[in-house]
């Protein structure tokens, strides 16, 4: 291909819990030219969930190399790169920038006692929500740092830097310590009220501010360029613009066009390892019931997350010896698949619960009940979130629900969400909204354009739509009744 005909492209990276995806996207149209993937591993039991951050860097390099090879483009065509990463993970580094221990991931529940202690120490849930936007739970990075202080004090004392997963990767790209308001707002030590690290929280945590990265004004801000070492590892030239990047949920919102220059208050439900619901709003959310995150573009992204979604249901399918779509409605059976504790509702020590079992109950009904239990849990979180956004029940029910994530490739997940919500569902054709959102951030770093505005003008993805339907209130009522009655037991 002659040099003058090479289209300029950007690279968007989605470093998630179990794998890394990299997309090469046309900087003008947003068309995904190529995609690369690489896996990494999670270890741990009894509440522990950890990964070696060096795996993330290796996977990033492999995924980018695979995407560039598939695209057939030279490295010189790349104008920018950005990383979106799994939220909340705690990465502690030595003076050379190498991990002192495996990263504690978002779904590591060992820090639940520390989260409860932190909540009380600063005046309770309402005080935390007002100050930082969110209340500490086991997932929040502040609770993990407190756990490290108490359980591995030598490691905490040796830490020369504390990073989130996407911060760690961005620093490897640029040599510069930087984060963004979106992902920082999930740490517990960044206050959305003041848009700064909260000094009182840092004192409470015994966390020196000097260990933390600088906060860029937005996720698409240019925080540096590729270092020589990073460029060699990636097969790209030095000087490629690098954006601050953000958390995976914030990047997905950009990829879907949610934000100040796009859609507001249009809810999203992501079916992945976790079940996540969020919506973009200009008003700072203040409620203990949701995580009041900042968004990538200066708006806010109130979010609620459940721990047990696709992997939990797949586990039930494996136990039953069934294919994941070999299901039937649960009938009288109710199965709450809280196999790893639960985050929403906040039940970190809970386990799965099965009730309503009859001699005539089939394995397919049990699997269907697992889908229903997981779906009702995340849809209840959605109802709470939209209420906090100021939408009454009638108005909220009329908003289309955008359904994304790996679960959307399974017909049972889509059918169960449709049946139990009754909503108008929109399923975007792109399977990589996080990586595409990261690509928009990379384009912002290269061009200075607003990422959400850019995303909405890029080649629009196609959609599959399912019209509203009559909601299955019988199943909904049966499951919510069991959940409400069982919560004290699950907390025990």
Cα 125 → chain centroid: 22
The alpha-helical segments, DSSP class H, found in 175-245 are 181-184, 199-205, 228-234
Maximum C-alpha span of the chain: 71
Q: How far apart are CA 370 and CA 72, in angstroms?
A: 44
Q: Both tokens of residue 221?
A: 């801000």
What is the C-alpha separation between 40 and 53, in angstroms, rounded? Answer: 9
Q: Which of 80, 83, 42, 44 is nearest to 63 (CA)?
A: 83
Which segments within 204-299 are labelled E, that is strand? 214-215, 222-225, 241-243, 246-247, 268-271, 275-278, 291-294
Give the phi and the psi of residue 160 in degrees, each rounded to 5.
-100, -15
Angle between helices 473-491 and 411-421 (to 10 degrees): 100
Residue among 248, 340, 346, 450 flagged as catalytic: 248
Please state the separation of Cα 390 from the chain's center in Å: 23
Contacts of 389 (CB under 8 A, 6+ apart): 265, 279, 281, 283, 285, 302
Q: What is the Cα–Cα distance from 253 to 258, expressed in whole angstroms? A: 5
Question: Could you confirm whether 450 is annotated as catalytic?
Answer: no
Strands of 116-239, DSSP E: 161-163, 178-179, 190-191, 196-197, 214-215, 222-225
Q: What are the residues whose beta carbons fall under 8 Å from the beta carbon of 319, sequence distance 6 or more?
A: none
Contact assessment for residue 261 and residue 452, using Cβ atoms and an 8 Å cutoff: yes
Q: How far apart are CA 354 and CA 377, in angstroms?
A: 15
Residues involved in catalysis = 248
């Amino acid at each position: 291909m002659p040099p003058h005909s090479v289209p300029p492209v950007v690279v968007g990276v989605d470093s998630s819990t179990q794998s890394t995806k990299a997309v090469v996207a046309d900087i003008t149209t947003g068309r995904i030219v190529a995609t690369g993937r690489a896996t990494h591993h999670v270890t741990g039991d009894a509440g522990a969930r950890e990964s070696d951050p060096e795996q993330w860097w290796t996977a990033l390099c492999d995924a980018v190399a695979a995407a560039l090879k598939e695209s057939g483009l030279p490295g010189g065509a790349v104008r920018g790169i950005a990383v979106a990463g799994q939220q909340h993970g705690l990465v502690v580094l030595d003076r050379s920038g190498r991990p002192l221990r495996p990263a504690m991931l978002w779904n590591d529940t060992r820090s639940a006692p520390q989260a409860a202690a932190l909540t009380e120490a600063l005046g309770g849930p309402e005080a935390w929500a007002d100050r930082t936007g969110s209340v500490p739970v086991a997932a929040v990075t502040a609770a993990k740092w407190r756990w490290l202080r108490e359980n591995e004090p030598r490691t905490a004392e040796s830490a020369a830097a504390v990073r989130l997963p996407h911060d760690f990767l961005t620093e490897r790209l640029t040599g510069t310590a930087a984060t963004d308001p979106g992902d920082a707002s999930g740490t517990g030590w960044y206050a959305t009220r003041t848009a700064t690290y909260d000094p009182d929280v840092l004192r409470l945590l015994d966390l020196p501010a000097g260990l933390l990265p600088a906060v860029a004004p937005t996720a698409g801000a240019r925080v540096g360029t590729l270092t020589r070492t990073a460029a060699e590892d990636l097969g790209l030239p030095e000087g490629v613009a690098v954006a601050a990047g953000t958390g995976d949920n914030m990047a997905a919102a950009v990829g879907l066009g949610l934000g100040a220059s796009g859609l507001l208050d249009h809810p999203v439900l992501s079916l992945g390892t976790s079940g996540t619901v969020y919506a973009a709003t200009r008003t700072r959310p203040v409620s203990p019931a949701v995580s009041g995150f900042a968004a990538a573009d200066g708006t806010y992204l109130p979010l609620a997350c459940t721990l047990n979604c696709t992997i939990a249901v797949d586990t039930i399918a494996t136990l039953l010896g069934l294919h994941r779509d070999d299901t039937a409605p649960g009938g009288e059976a109710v199965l709450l698949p809280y196999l790893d504790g639960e985050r929403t509702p906040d039940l970190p020590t809970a386990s799965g619960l099965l009730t309503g079992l009859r001699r005539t109950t089939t394995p397919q009904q049990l699997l269907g009940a697992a889908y229903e239990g997981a779906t009702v849990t995340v849809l209840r979180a959605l109802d709470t979130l939209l209420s906090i956004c100021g939408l009454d029940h009638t108005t909220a029910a009329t908003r289309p629900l955008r359904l994304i994530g790996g679960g959307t490739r399974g017909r049972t997940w889509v059918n169960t969400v449709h049946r139990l919500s009754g909503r108008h569902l929109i399923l975007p054709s792109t399977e990589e909204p996080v990586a595409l959102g990261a690509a928009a951030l990379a384009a912002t770093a290269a061009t200075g354009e607003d990422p959400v505005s850019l995303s909405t003008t890029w080649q629009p993805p196609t959609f599959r739509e399912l019209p509203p339907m009559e909601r299955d209130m019988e199943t909904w009522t049966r499951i919510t009744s069991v959940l409400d009655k069982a919560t004290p037991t699950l907390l025990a």
